Amino acid sequence: MRIGIIGTGNIGATLARKLAKAGHSVLIANSRGPETLKNLANETGAKAVSAEEASHGVEVVILSVPFARVPLLKDILAGLKDEVIVADTSNYFPVRDGQIPAIDGGQVESLWVSEQIGHAVVKAWNNVLAVVLASKGLPAGADGRIALSVAGDDPAAKRVVMSLVEDTGFDAIDGGALA
């Protein structure tokens, strides 16, 4: 599968490593430009590109940016075809992200993300710390394999993301709808 990852912090970089190792074609992008991703690209076999390039010609775009920066992706993702799946790894941390009145008022984080980017999302890889994601993945069927919840409103898109969660070394469980 061709996957674009926007954001290469602890979570995004770990997903790039795991998904490339699982045989996926991975494009990686960050806010500092592709030239800053040379080492990660060399390590993983992923291709360093701009955020715009990471969202074109792919089947899945994984957003792994700080929550408050999600609105900055709207223009980049504006041309996404409906069939492109967007997986969101973010979590709202007011200490880091500042106050977001809609979330503080009770709006579900993932629904807010969908509104900000103008595209439906599937929520995944957000319920464990980066160190767990990096170090605790195990082969399918292994004793002690951890399960991660995947939530979304499109059953087909959710199944695709669940298969990617499995490829990263975790059992995927259906977390229901975004709301």
Average pLDDT score over residue span 142-146:
96
The pLDDT assigned to 113 comes to 97
Spatial contact of 34 and 48, defined as CB atoms under 8 Å apart: yes
Predicted confidence at residue 144, as pLDDT, reads 96
Residue 2: its pLDDT value, please? 98
pLDDT (tens digit, 9 = 90+) per residue, 70-113? 999 999 998 899 999 999 999 999 999 999 999 999 999 999 99
* Three-state DSSP class for residue 110: helix
> What is the band of 139 on the pLDDT scale with cuts at 50, 70, 90?
very high
pLDDT digits (tens, 9 = 90+) for 14-57: 999 999 999 999 999 999 999 999 999 999 999 999 999 999 99
pLDDT score recorded for residue 14: 98
**Beta bridge pairs of residue 28:** 5, 48
Render pLDDT for 105-122 as a digit per residue (tens, 0 to 9): 999 999 999 999 999 999
State the first-to-last Cα distance of the chain, in angstroms, to the nearest integer: 28
CA distance 80 to 65: 18
Q: How high is the pLDDT of residue 79? A: 85
**Among 61, 58, 60, which residue's Cα sits nearest to residue 73?**
61
E strand map for 16-107: 25-29, 47-48, 60-63, 85-88
